[in-house]
Amino acid sequence: MQGKQELYPKGTGPKDAHTRPGIVFSKGRPQCQRCGTWIAENCRLENGAYFCSGCLLLGRVTEFHELVTDVTPITRPKEAVPCVWSGTLTAKQAVVATALKECLTKRQNALLWAVTGSGKTEMLFPMLEQAFREGLQVAYATPRIDVCNEVYPRLRQAFPSGAILLRHSQGEEWRDFQLLVATTHQLLHFYRAFDLLIIDESDAFPYVDNPVLHQASRLAVKEQGITVHLTATPSQELKQQREKENWRLLTLFQRYHKRPLVVPELCFMENWRKLPEKKRSLKKLARLCETLLKDNRLLLFCPQIDYLKRLEQTLQPYLAQWRVTSVSARDEKRQEKIQGMRDGEWDVLLTSTVLERGVTFANVSVVILGADHEVFTKSVLIQIAGRVDRLGEYQHGRVVFCYQEQTYPLRQAIAEIKAINRKRGQEDAL
């Protein structure tokens, strides 16, 4: 498969392929060429050879291995793969979509900073249609499996005749493709493979602050290829990288339905860490939930999985008339429950931060319990708040931050949401 790198013992790979040593020494220090990890002195085999622990799950790279990549140019027919999406871009979305096509034509990297619910995926369609027409190799990568599973069917529906492959730990087997939809970890399989790499939610765990995945994304792109980053909450580091490397900056601060972001409300919740065991606090939370459930279904975010499970057990009796379940990264039935929430089978879904981004539900309100917990950074809070009012007519969705202490990230998140709404107003004026 063109661009996919395989691991071989030295000297045993195909002779006509591109070969790199698995481990090189720089200033006397060993470094893995697949993931970029600097190898510790104690990472040695019995024979004394170094091996890399950073990408061990993909096969052990040692001093006696080489990375072999098929670099035979793919001669795809330059024929149209039509986009059959029946929707219509708004005027502002169309401006961004045209700019993205220009970036592809000029081979210019870009950062698209667009609010949650702005229609980022749909704005990619014209650029992807151009890439298909030119016979280019494209990857859409994101840190979260749930985002892959959300986007893949939309791309399949928009480009039914395109060769699109879904790859993650629960995805499809390898086959020929022109558009890869994958988690960012899957990029470790490639070397100089893609003409266009789209990284969605590049500020999300586990991609953010992960040098291994950053290395993988750099090496996966062809030398003349481009990378387009998409996010509603760009980190300061990403903004600085854009300025340093002169990427094109594209912004859209208006949702496709033109309504503003929902500004979070504050609800003081004393000693929320012990809430699952305190009847008085449970009753207060249940009253809040019932108020919100009059108009919408409910996503209840918890800071830790163990806390979530305890809360589900003790809160459920207070919400006996409602259909309640929970989901987390450890849940083997996660995809089934998420689809059930989309299909209206659940009224209340308790969740960890696994659903902070990339999933869309109609008619929901959001409660973040322990919004002052360290796991809820500014960007996470903004992303979670963005789950509300994404689809259809306005359903009076609300966002409630339950806290004991008004932390800096909490205040920052509310301030930035208000600032984005002001920028949206300025865009309208223009």
pLDDT tens-digit profile of 185-215?
A: 999 999 999 999 999 999 998 999 899 999 9
- The answer to whether the peptide bond before residue 206 is cis (omega within 30 degrees of 0) is yes
**pLDDT at site 29:** 94
- The span from the CA of 386 to the CA of 378, in Å, is 12
Specify the pTM.
0.92
Judged by DSSP in three states, 283 sits in helix
342-369 average pLDDT score? 95
332-355 average pLDDT score? 96
**pLDDT at site 429:** 43
| Average pLDDT score, the chain | 94
Question: Which tokens go with 251?
Answer: 């912004």
78-103 average pLDDT score? 93
- The span from the CA of 187 to the CA of 318, in Å, is 46
Give residue-wise pLDDT tens across range 128-143: 999 999 999 999 999 9
Structure confidence at residue 170 as a pLDDT band (50, 70, 90)? confident
Q: In this structure, are residues 34 and 52 in contact, taking their beta carbons and an 8 Å threshold?
A: yes
| Lowest-pLDDT choice from 242-246, 400-404, 406-410, 423-427 | 423-427
Give residue-wise pLDDT tens across range 354-366: 999 988 999 999 9
Strands 110-114 and 248-252: parallel
- The span from the CA of 226 to the CA of 194, in Å, is 8
**pLDDT at site 430:** 39
Q: Does the pLDDT of residue 428 top 60, yes or no? A: no
Structure confidence at residue 61 as a pLDDT band (50, 70, 90)? very high
**Domains of the chain from N-terminus onward:** 5-69 (no CATH), 91-252 (3.40.50.300), 265-429 (3.40.50.300)
| Lowest-pLDDT choice from 173-177, 192-196, 211-215, 426-430 | 426-430
Residue pointed to by tokens 């989309």 = 342
Partners of 140 in beta bridges: 181, 198
Structure confidence at residue 80 as a pLDDT band (50, 70, 90)? confident
Which residues lie closer than 8 Å to 148 by C-beta, 6 or more apart?
142, 166, 168, 171, 181, 182, 183
Which residues lie closer than 8 Å to 88 by C-beta, 6 or more apart?
none
CB atoms within 10 A of CB 406: 14
Q: In this structure, are residues 355 and 291 in contact, taking their beta carbons and an 8 Å threshold?
A: no
Structure confidence at residue 117 as a pLDDT band (50, 70, 90)? very high
